[in-house]
Structure 1
Amino acid sequence: MAELVLTKLGEAVVSHAVQRVSELLIHEATSLITVKDDVERLQAELRRMQCFLKDADRKQEQDERVRNWIAEVRDVAYDVEDVVETFIIKVDSSFIKVIHLRRIRNRISFIQARIKDIFESRLNYGIEFAGREQGSSFPEAEQQRNSRRSCPYDDDDDDDDDGVISLERCVTALEAQLLKEEDRVCVVSIVGMGGLGKTTLAKKVFNHRKVRQHFDCFVWVFVSQQYVPKDVLCEILVQVKGIQSHCAGGNSEKSRQRRDLLEETNSEKSILQKFEEHELINLIKDELEKKRYLVVLDDIWRIDAWNRIKGAFLKGKKGSKVVFTTRIKEVAFSADPYVAPIEPPFLTLEESWELLRRKAFPRDIFGERGCPPNYEKLGKEMIKKCGGLPLAIVVLGGLLRTKNLLDGWKKVERDVSLHFNNFKSQQQYGVEEILALSYHDLPYYLKPCFLYLGGFPEDWEIPSRKLIRLWIAEGFIPTPRTGEMDETMEDIAEQYLQELIDRCMLQVGKRDHTGAGVKTCRMHDLMRDFCVSKVREENFFEIIEQHQMNMANPGSSVQGLASTRSRRIAVYLDRDRDLDRGAPWPWMDQVCPHLRSLLCFDVGDFFLPLSNKNFRLVRVLELWFVRPSDKFEVPGEIGNLIHLRYLGFRGAGMSTYLPRSIGKLRNLHTLDLRENYITSLPKAISRLTRLRHLLLPSHWVDDSTIFKCSKCHFRMDNLRNIETLKYIVDETLIRYDAVSKLTNLRKLGICFQSDKEVRTVLESFTPAQLGRLRSLTMIMQPKDHSFPSLKLLSGCHALSKLSLYGKLPEDSYGTLRFLPVSLTKLVLARSEIKRDPMTVLEKLPDLRFLQLGKQSYVGNEMVCSADGFPRLETLQLFSLSQVEQSWRVAKGALPSLKRLDIKWIPKLRTIPEDLKFFAKIRELNITREHSSFKDDEAEQGKDPPETSERPHTYWQSHIESSERGEATRLWSRANPSRINT
């Protein structure tokens, strides 16, 4: 299917090349002065080439010569970028010599001759002018933005319910197997091809009420083809010991109740890595021996994966179970020949249509009339090609969702028929063809964004904010149009991300506090396989796994890198294999000379050979640390990478200095130094004038009471493009009146050394600046200092997230009234509010998330009145030592509450009775220091009243006792005001 998708990628490449050359002509005017006319001619030729790519798109399916022509256009666009950026390096590194000018001009002349030959050859293929807009480096930008802003359907469906059709019988069968009281530990397998719903089925039963009541230990681990036994064992052990929560779907999210133990968790994982496999197996076996456990091993491909770890599951309380999901029947039968595998069925035609209708029309826009017959007829013709495979139908529905009119459906139906006629193989039940069709239908600006996802490892939870910054650094996101001052590149990138999700090409991992924003995302394994195949066909990414790094191996694919045109490399490290992490990697010398991006995952002690000439054009350098390194440091040669736009070392644990040469990175957009221990930052950062996101080293110490920030010696007033700034000491903002000059600031985290500096900083903001702030975190370092009146924040009309760590003024109750009504998330800690804050906070109309943290409230009574907190979904009450059992919730309060977390409130003995009337609440998490909650046997077993809105809602209680060191999760329909412990 590569020929079907090449054009729009070529179109994106040429558009990016035009934009890049435009930027260089503006920002590097001095460097390019001697060749300015030559470069402008190259830019004009590329723009002219763009005008013919659309017509080539229409002709490529029938003519292989057209496809080759498109590939030539793409390659010459890459060459234009290379020659201009290489010349800038020459100018930057030394006095420009005549020989350099001669070489660059010869190179430009050669490229111009190639462009002329390519342009003239189009006539042989009948490629004509397509009437495209020449004045924009991103053609059709306005039309595409309008289509994104007016997406015809808003999906309010629960993400977890997507694609759950016709699983009732399988759910019943799997539940029955799991609830059997058998003396031995049984292995229950779910078998079927990719995309059939195996993981969906396992997830559904994993969270089932009866299953939650039956077992007392739950583990979910993703295995995959490239599994590492030691990693799997470590993950199981960490979950068994209760350090991490065990959410549905196996994402193993860090427990929100124990965020303060995150460093200890990472440290423990590092310690566990030092054990041998057999030692880890024995540790797990000892932990599980007296538990009735349910362990889900998702996506097992080979029986040896089970054989390597099965010794950990030889013992357990009666009824313990292990569940597999696998595509291979042999794996299922070999693991436990006495238990028949469960095989989810393919969907019937009617079930397929129901699923397609849900995805294409998330809301029933046709009302009681139902879907018009002409839509239904076309839809049922298309789903016949999907063979009843849920994934294919979901992706097809995502594609149809973008088509507003019947004509759009007709075009998709024609394309489906054409693709299936051209590719007769039905071995994948249509899924490959549907995935290819959905990819082909992507607008050109989404092509590279989608392909970029192929660089991430399998089953990787991708932070959306990081992904957006990487897309921007790669040049995939256009600059907002003139006049749209409030729209940023990040806003446009978020729209791109949402469009990929709407098209079902990307899945939501976790949502933010509002339930609407995307916090993390991930790809279905089949979608990722398809994406990786396209990535390799297009030389978009080169993926290197650790076993390929042995250059002595003559068959290593790494040896061929130098001869490829690959511009991006993703490296997947493997903690279970031997590697001298303190030495340079041997493949570095073989890396292709066109390298633009290097993503390294699971980095440990790593030496960066930045003197290597192959790094000179790099724009993105992201090292993804899963645990701190003892040896990592940033070499002085970092300053040689003058084209660098994104530099990320988060989690490296560096305590050394940052080299002054970092000031040479004048193109840098993002510098991410979070979770490091660098004590001071050099003055040279002042020269990074294009920096948009500055994320500085910081960390809590002394039981989360002291917040440490790096000392900043640079001039903040020079960084006038900054949008995100976290976390910085107040004096850095006060010097040189820096605050008033940061006119683009959207997100700010600041650590204050005294109360008077708060007023100085806040009063320095202009009304326009305050109106642009979306997120603000303020930390008062000295415990005996207080924040001034919050009236200074009343002008923050766009402020969505506010976190305040420190004492509020004496009249704290009154000052809360000045909180912006736009707030959706509010965190208070160490505030020492003496009067019940609920009576003020409950009036915030859009508040979705409220955390009253340690000593935020020192009174003993809390009341949530009727109609209070109309939109609040998550309420967290932590370490409120004085609050007693007199917390009252009136009927009608908190109507939208879905989650309640109560942590370490020793005097609170009962949860308000009226919580039982809350139809929407799903999760109740209680962590306690002492056995203070009442246990009323007479009340146990009572059902909350059924409601027509959600008749089958169950309470999820996560009750932890630090006193006993136990953690259990109970699902019941009991009155939540009486807790089983």
Structure 2
Amino acid sequence: MADVAVGFVVEKLGNLLLQEAINLYGARGEVEWLKGELETMQCFLKDADAKKNKGDDERVKNWVTKTRDLAFEAEDIIDTFMYYKLRRQQKQPGCIGFIKRFVFIFDELIGRHKVHVDVQGIKTRLLELSQNREVYGISNIGETIGTTSQPRSQNVIPILPQLRDDIDMVGFDDEKKKIVQELVDVNITNQSVISIVGMGGLGKTTLAKSVYNDFEVKRSFDIFAWVIISQEYTIHEVLKRISSEVSATPSADTIQDLSVAISEKLKKGKYLIVLDDVWKEDAWTELLKVFPDVNNGSRVIITTRFVNVAKIANPTIKPHELRCLDERESLELFLCKVFPNQNTETCCPTYLVDYAHQLVQRCGGLPLALVVLGGLVSTKPQTHDAWRKVVESMKGQFVEGGEMCLEIIALSYNDLSYYLKSCFLYFGCFKEDMTIDAKTLIRLWSAEGFLPVKNGKTTEEVGLDCLEDLAQRCMVQITDREYDCSANRCRIHDVLRDVCIREAKENRYFEIYKNNDTVDYVTMSNAPRRLVICNEIDILNYSNSMLRGLFFGVGGFGSHLAFSGLNGQLGRFKLLRVLCLYTTGISEFPSEIKSLIHLRYLEFSYDVKLKEVPSWIGHLRNLQTFILRNGGSLEKISDSLWTIGNLRHVNLPSRTPWVPPPNMGNNVPKNLQTLKWVKAGSWIGNTLPKLTNLCKLGIQSVSNDHADALSSSLQKLGRLASFTIFDGHEIPLNDIITAFSNQHCLKKLFLEGSLNRKQLPHNDVFPQQLVELHLEHSGLEQDPMATLEKLPCLKYL
């Protein structure tokens, strides 16, 4: 993990030197020296990490820890200096503004001198670490700066998104047949529960998914629901998920009303409910009440690690206890991952077969271990040397079960580049078994500065590449894809999440904060860089002013938390880049946020009752993503939001009355890629055509009054891939079709509202590149299929 810290600091130092931000007291030369020395140290970190992980020498472990902490300290020095520099650049009018700028200049001079002193201190300690490296026998193993993974062989076939099958099930065919037969047996009319039991990583969910998607099962039931329970759950959250899955409509959002609505809905048909990853007996006994038995053959499937949970759910039917795979099955699953979409009997070159058998034997028949190891090997060249190194890097004899799997995961983790390691560890900040929005994840990565710069690619495209790389290595799962086959949603196996949390704890990557804990650190460099607050707190008692990310109740770690626990606390974290608030009880925009000028990602979610986004939002010059969900009380958003040049993504509450300013001149966020949901107005003709980098646009309340301006502006948005009209009064369809008829980026079109015609236009003028089309409340009177059936790329209608 130390190579992660050093890698990012090296990159940041390079950027700082390019900006020529430090010129005083000879600090520029010292920063150049620091950058070069850290680059040298990075070359030795892979060998040091390998020695540390093998437990060869406690001194080596201490050396790695000190190197990481030193890199963190260097990053803090850089960001603190940049804080003073950015604060001075903020323009304020009048005499008070002049005085403040003068004071900030004085602060910056002090800051420059402090940089000089601090770099001198780091220089001394870095020289000491360099000398110790030689004493400890840590060698340069020829690693390329910034990556620990082997170059991809031209012979390795990449996993194409459209060809990947996330459910590679091997060895459970007989078990699947038995379960399917139990589900569709017409002789058993009473409701029954079928349990799949096994340790983590044994394939319970994979088997359940294969059964759930089976054709015979699909045609035998009327109502379906798949709900993940996991360790951290509340009955209220679980009932809301079931209600959503079965389209029940409760009269209120209470446990009682949800239970009644679900039960009434399930009585109307033969249902199949899957409760995935049940840890506690109480979970079943509490949920049993909402699953009615009307003697129509309804079924419930439970996956669990615990036999006692299965027996409580149904003491009369023996649970399906999964076994480990035998050697033949293990080899088949391993080769499925190494050589995707190929015949597993012939795909492996004969000169690699022996290595394949050795690798498979080390996994002990555990499917998750085989999948992760196969994902690692798929990134290696198909050569003796490359595969031999993987074999040699594994310990001689793994223990059984979960510990063995963790060792294999650790091997795959250590093989990642420094930026992929940080991307992977970020999954630990989310709730167990949570399905994560890929776009949100990538924006968080971008805000943290994890994503490398690649010529010809946007940050978002680089982020998607990183996510696909982790998926190919089978370290994360892509659970849903967009219309263009890019990742839409993803998740991580709970065993892999355990690795994230273990690594994060050891390396101070993030900390999960417990109620009113007081944590004292020897130095700020020892303090975690991110804080995840899981449960309700009276007041945040945390002293690390160098925090980079704060997650308050994100993803429902418990109940959504009351904001009162953060009152007056945010202003202390001057270097914060990410602030996610899933909170209740917030009616005013927290004024402390004004001072967080490093902030790049700001999200308010859940029960937010903000009435106004204030004018000082424009002070957040680095802000890239601004998300405000469920803010039904919002009345005003300051026009200063538009002045933020780095702004890329704006997502506002649906049905908000906000109308962008009609004419901002050239002072518009030209980097803006996402704008949702804004109200139609005169800005469509004046401001919209200047947002030339827009990829996703959602507008509310469009009518015929906007037809000409909308048509003209849309034609200038050549990168627009997704366009939505929400709650349209009378949508000018002809003008929209005309605007997009010659563009090639538009793939998704969502129109909710009355169209101004009775039939769709002819196929020849309809956008030919459309992949996804939604029409709601359109008022069409003639069958639209005469046009739609001829669209060559349409997949989703």
1:681 aligned to 2:603? no
Structure 2 equivalent of residue 913 of structure 1: none
Instruction: Tell me the alpha carbon deviations over residues 591-620 of structure 1, each in whole angstroms, 9 at most, x when there is no partner.
Output: 533211012323355244355453221100
Match of 2:749 in 1: 803
CA contact (8 A) 2:547 2:573 kept: yes
Q: In 1, distance between residues paired with 2:662 and 2:765?
A: 39
Structure-2 separation of matches of 1:784 and 1:212: 38
Q: How does 1:456-467 map to 2 (within 5 A)?
A: 456-467=430-441
C-alpha offsets along residues 539-585 of structure 1, whole Å, 9 cap, x if unaligned? 111123xxx31x3xxxx576889985101112334xxxxx5xxxxx4
Question: C-alpha separation between the residues in 1 aligned to 2:161 and 2:11?
Answer: 37
Q: Distance in 2 between matches of 1:100 and 1:349?
A: 63
Quick check: 1:272 aligned with 2:253? yes
**Compared CA separation, residues 43 and 640, structure 1 to 2 (3 A):** farther
CA distance 1:444–1:81, change in 2 (3 Å): closer
Where does residue 646 of structure 1 map in the other structure? 601
- Alignment correspondent of 2:5: 13
Q: Does 1:68 align with 2:62?
A: yes
Distance in 2 separating the partners of 1:679 and 1:161: 45
Q: What SS does the corresponding residue of 1:295 show, helix, strand or coil? A: strand
**Bigger mean CA deviation after superposition, 155-164 or 171-180:** 155-164
Give the aligned partner of residue 529 of structure 2: 567
1:444 to 2:418 alignment: yes
Instruction: Tell me, in whole angstroms, the C-alpha distance in 1 between the residues paired with 2:296 and 2:408.
Output: 45
1:499 Cα shift? 0.6
Aligned to 1:819: none
For 1:364, the equivalent position in structure 2 comes to 342
Q: Using the alignment, how far apart are the partners of 1:121 and 1:182 within structure 2?
A: 72
What is the match of residue 761 of structure 1? 713
Structure 1 segment 298-697 matched on structure 2, within 5 A: 298-313=276-291, 315-317=293-295, 319-364=297-342, 370-407=347-384, 409-415=386-392, 418-421=393-396, 424-428=398-402, 430-481=404-455, 484=456, 487-514=457-484, 516-544=485-513, 548-549=514-515, 551=516, 556=517, 564-573=526-535, 579=536, 585-600=537-552, 601=554, 602=556, 603=560, 605-607=562-564, 608-609=566-567, 611-624=569-582, 629=584, 631-650=586-605, 652-677=607-632, 678-697=634-653
**Quick one: distance in 1 between partners of 2:236 and 2:689?**
50
Gap change, CA 1:761 and 1:403, over 3 Å in 2: same
| Change beyond 3 A, Cα 1:792–1:222 | closer
- CA drift at 1:325: 1.1
Q: Work out the CA distance in 2 between the residues paired with 1:149 and 1:783.
A: 54
After superposition, give the CA deviation of every residue in 1:308-350 in whole Å (9 maximum; x if it has no partner). Answer: 4434447442544332211112222343332111122322212
State the aligned residue count.
761
The CA deviation string for residues 830-861 of structure 1, in whole angstroms up to 9 with x for no partner, is: 444556546437893x5433334433744357
Alpha carbons of structure 1 residues 402 and 236: separation in structure 2 relative to 1, 3 Å: same
Task: Select between 652-661 and 395-404 the one with higher mean Cα deviation.
Answer: 652-661
**Residues 843/649 of structure 1: CA separation in 2 closer, same or farther (3 Å cut):** closer
Q: Could you report, residue by residue, the CA deviation over 1:808-834 in whole angstroms, capped at 9, with x for unpaired residues?
A: xxxxxxxxxxxxxxxxxxxx8644455
Distance (Å, rounded) in 2 between the aligned partners of 1:154 and 1:329: 37
Amino acid at match of 1:507: Q
Q: Give the aligned partner of residue 124 of structure 2.
A: 113
Q: Deviations over 1:51-104 (max 9, x none)?
A: 232234235434533443232222111112212323444563844257666555
CA contact (8 A) 2:375 2:474 kept: yes
Give the structure-2-normalised TM-score.
Answer: 0.85
Q: Counterpart of 1:848?
A: 771
SS in 2 for 1:430: helix
Q: In structure 2, what residue type is equivalent to 1:394? A: V
Deviates more, 1:501-510 or 1:680-689: 680-689
Q: CA deviation at 1:623?
A: 2.4
State the alpha-carbon separation in 2 of the partners of residues 632 and 170 from structure 1: 54
Q: Deviation at 1:523?
A: 0.8
Question: In structure 2, the residue corresponding to 1:478 is in which secondary structure?
Answer: coil
Matching residue within 193, 197, 218 for 2:203: 197
Distance 1:526 1:360, change over 3 A: same
Distance 1:743 1:117, change over 3 A: farther
Q: Distance in 1 between matches of 2:329 and 2:731?
A: 65
Q: CA deviation at 1:157?
A: 7.2
User: 5 Å matches for 1:838-877?
Assistant: 839-840=763-764, 844=768, 846-855=769-778, 857-860=780-783, 862-863=785-786, 868-874=790-796, 876=797
Contact preservation (8 Å) 1:51, 1:130: no
Q: Secondary structure at the match of 2:730?
A: coil
CA RMSD of aligned residues (A): 3.8
Aligned-partner residue type, residue 393 of structure 1: L
- The higher relative CO (CA closer than 8 Å, separation ≥ 6) is in 2
Q: Unpaired runs of 5+ in structure 1?
A: 1-8, 244-264, 574-578, 580-584, 701-707, 806-827, 877-981
Task: Give yes or no for contact 2:483–2:747 (8 Å, CA) kept in 1.
Answer: no
| Alpha-carbon separation, structure 2, partners of 1:743 and 1:289 | 52
Segment drifting more, 520-529 vs 561-570: 561-570
Question: Is residue 177 of structure 2 the alignment partner of residue 172 of structure 1?
Answer: yes
2:672 aligned counterpart, secondary structure: coil
Shift of the alpha carbon at 1:645? 0.9
| Structure 2 partner of 1:79 | 73
One-letter amino acid matched to 1:685: L
Residue 170 of structure 1 deviates from its aligned partner by 1.0
> Structure 1 counterpart of 2:529, which letter?
R
Deviations 1:680-714 (A, max 9, x none): 321322442222223344438xxxxxxx5444488
Q: Secondary structure at the match of 2:613?
A: coil
**1:3-35 deviations in whole A, cap 9, x for unaligned?**
xxxxxx322322212333444566694xx6656
Gaps of 5+ in 2: 88-99
How far 1:383 moved relative to its partner?
0.8
Is 1:783 matched with 2:783?
no
CA contact (8 A) 1:157 1:362 kept: no
Q: Which amino acid aligns with 2:253?
A: L
The DSSP-based 3-state class of the residue aligned with 1:438 is helix
CA distance in 1, matches of 2:714, 2:264: 56
The match for 1:717 among 646, 666, 673 is 666
Q: How far apart are residue 192 of structure 1 and its match?
A: 1.0
